[in-house]
C-alpha cells in the first residue's frame, strides 16, 4: 500500500510539473506579433518627389515612398494642382489598377503626369505643384498637401494636363 501511495504521489507531482511546464511554455511562446494594419498614405508618412523623364515627351513621374513604420494604401490617384489652380488636374480613369497599391515601409508608388499636348490651350510655366493623397472614396483628401520640388525652371502645363492612378512600377505610370 505504501508503494502505491508513493507512486500516486510521484505521478501527481509529475502531472503537476508537466502542467506547469506546458502553461509556462504557452505563455513564453505567446502568439506572434500581429502585423501593423495598413493606413492611408499621406504626406506625413511618405516622401513625394517629381522627376522629369526623357520619354514620353511632356511627362513627369511622381513618386511616393513610404517613410512610415506601417504599410500604407496609395488610394486612387493623387490630386494635383499646379500653381494653386482652382481645380485639380484631370485623372485618367483608364489607368485604374486592378487593386489598391499597398506600400510597405521603404516601397514606392508611381503616378504619371502628362503636362501638355498639341490639343491643350491656356498654357503657362508652372513653378509650384501641390500633391494631395486621395481618401479611399476618392471624394476628398487624406492628410495635408505636400509640395515636391519641380524641375529647375518649372514645367510647361496646359489645359490637357492629367495624372494617372497610383501604379506599382514607373513603366505602368508612364504608359498614359
Rounded mean pLDDT of the chain? Answer: 86
Give residue 128's pLDDT.
97
Confidence (pTM): 0.79
Give residue 32's pLDDT.
55
- Whether the predicted pLDDT of 84 surpasses 90: no
Give residue 18's pLDDT.
38
On whether the CB atoms of residues 36 and 54 are closer than 8 A, the answer is: no
Report DSSP state, residue 94. Answer: G
- Pick from 31, 4, 42, 50: which is nearest to 152 by CA? 50
**Beta-carbon count within 10 A of 70 CB:** 14
Task: Tell me the per-residue pLDDT of 15-37, one tens digit each, with 9 for 90 and over.
Answer: 444 343 343 444 444 545 567 78
Distance between CA atoms of residues 84 and 91, nearest Å? 17
Amino acid at each position: 500500500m505504501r508503494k502505491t501511495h508513493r507512486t500516486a504521489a510521484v505521478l501527481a507531482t509529475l502531472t503537476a510539473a508537466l502542467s506547469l511546464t506546458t502553461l509556462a511554455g504557452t505563455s513564453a511562446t505567446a502568439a506572434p506579433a500581429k502585423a501593423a494594419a495598413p493606413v492611408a498614405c499621406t504626406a506625413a508618412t511618405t516622401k513625394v518627389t517629381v522627376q522629369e523623364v526623357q520619354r514620353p515627351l511632356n511627362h513627369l513621374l511622381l513618386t511616393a515612398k513610404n517613410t512610415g513604420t506601417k504599410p500604407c494604401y496609395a488610394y486612387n490617384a493623387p490630386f494635383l494642382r499646379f500653381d494653386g489652380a482652382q481645380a485639380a488636374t484631370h485623372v485618367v480613369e483608364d489607368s485604374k489598377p486592378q487593386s489598391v497599391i499597398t506600400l510597405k515601409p521603404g516601397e514606392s508608388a508611381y503616378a504619371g503626369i502628362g503636362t501638355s499636348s498639341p490639343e491643350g490651350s491656356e498654357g503657362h510655366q508652372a513653378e509650384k505643384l501641390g500633391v494631395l493623397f486621395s481618401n479611399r472614396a476618392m471624394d476628398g483628401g487624406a492628410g495635408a498637401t505636400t509640395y515636391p520640388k519641380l524641375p529647375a525652371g518649372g514645367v510647361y502645363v496646359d489645359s490637357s494636363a492629367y495624372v494617372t492612378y497610383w501604379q506599382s512600377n514607373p513603366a505602368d505610370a508612364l504608359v498614359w
